[in-house]
Structure 1
Amino acid sequence: MADQVKKPLKITETVLRDAHQSLIATRMTTEQMLPIIDKMDKVGYHSVECWGGATF
């Protein structure tokens, strides 16, 4: 149990991927996402996923 306490929780945020896929059918541009990126970076997420599923 003590070893588990020492390991930090790593969170992957998926809002840039999931939200615009669900709400506006992947029509968001990079320019529309950029205003929030700096704030999300300051949160300290382990990673931010923005990769869409419909890629070839």
Structure 2
Amino acid sequence: MQFIRATLNYQLSIINYQLSTLNSPLSTIHSQLTDAVKTWFLRSEYRMPVSIELDEL
């Protein structure tokens, strides 16, 4: 579970960096979306190994 969380954080940090280089409101929107996804993921009571396709974000 911790590996999945670390992988998620790593992939989201890459996407955040890529979007921040665009210097547009998209980076703000994505930052808020990232926070929401992390919050849901960390607070989820029904935890099981999952595959999260971040390309869809």
**Fold agreement, TM-score > 0.5:** no
Q: TM-score range by the shorter chain?
A: 0.3 to 0.5
**Radius of gyration: which is bigger?**
1
Which structure is richer in relative contact order (CA contacts within 8 A, separation 6 or more)? 1
Query: TM (normalized to structure 1)?
Result: 0.35
Higher helix share: 2
Higher strand share: 1
